[in-house]
Structure 1
Amino acid sequence: MYFDFDHMERLGARSHSFDAGEKIFLQNEHGNVLYVVRTGRVEVITFGKVLEKVGANGIVGEIAFVDGGPRSAAALASEKTDVMVLDKDAFSAIIREDPDFALHVMRVMAERLRRLNLVGHH
């Protein structure tokens, strides 16, 4: 899925840049925003192990955003990375205009949870 980042910004998302090696969030932090990667690459890490590398148009931070719990992993920018930061209000505004965005976030989350479950059982 490809996103209209300018439109997201008009609906209340904010743009943010991270330098290579900079933390986006840490495991167990409270998570009240999710991130959509504009450019660059984000490594999702738990206990020092890279679970996933997320590039442009990828989403990170959705699990804690959706359930209000702590971050299940850390996220670090592995290169200079620009993201859109969506809080609940921006997310709500976006899905009012494009309900498929919510389905996309749920699909991403489901794929990650399936992968984690498969990894955890082997």
Structure 2
Amino acid sequence: MDTTSAQAAMRLLQRRVYHKGDVIFRQDEPGDRAFLVQGGSVEILRDGKLLGVVVAGGMFGEMALIDREPRMAMARAAEETACLVIPEEVFRAKLKGADPFIVGLLRILLTTIRTTSEKLAHQK
């Protein structure tokens, strides 16, 4: 992506503020955007179980954009949280410009994460 295209893409990004408890997306929804946390924190939950917390500088929601599978978990604001919203078209343009080896590696890692998460979810 050249400088002009990158600048145009950045103009597509919106900043959103979520209040504590706001659901940013739900498990099993299709993914059409990723999020970059600017301040605050986001809980990632699968079947009501806390998988992790994303803090400032962290990204979430990217898995569904990389492998085009439904959201693996729910994202919920743990406190007042500001995020940059990265639309799918911006994310895909960045991914298209990435090294194909790295993109392939990301897809393999995502498959492993999804498979492991599914197995853990069904264990008692």
Structure 1 vs Structure 2 CA RMSD: 3.3
Equivalences for residues 1-122 of structure 1 within 5 A? 10-92=10-92, 99=98, 110=109, 113-114=112-113, 117=116, 120=120
Moved over 6 A (4+): none
Q: What is the TM-score normalised by the length of structure 2?
A: 0.69
- Distance (Å, rounded) in 2 between the aligned partners of 1:39 and 1:8: 24
Any gaps of 5 or more consecutive residues in structure 1? 1-6
Q: Which amino acid aligns with 1:79?
A: E
Provide the secondary structure at the position in 2 that maps to 1:89: helix
Determine the structure 1 residue equivalent to 2:4.
none
Q: Which has the larger radius of gyration?
A: 2
Q: What is the TM-score normalised by the length of structure 1?
A: 0.70
- Distance (Å, rounded) in 2 between the aligned partners of 1:84 and 1:11: 11
Aligned length: 111
Provide the secondary structure at the position in 2 that maps to 1:90: helix
Determine the structure 1 residue equivalent to 2:3.
none
Identity %: 30
* CA-CA distance at 1:9 after TM superposition: 7.3
- Distance (Å, rounded) in 2 between the aligned partners of 1:70 and 1:114: 14
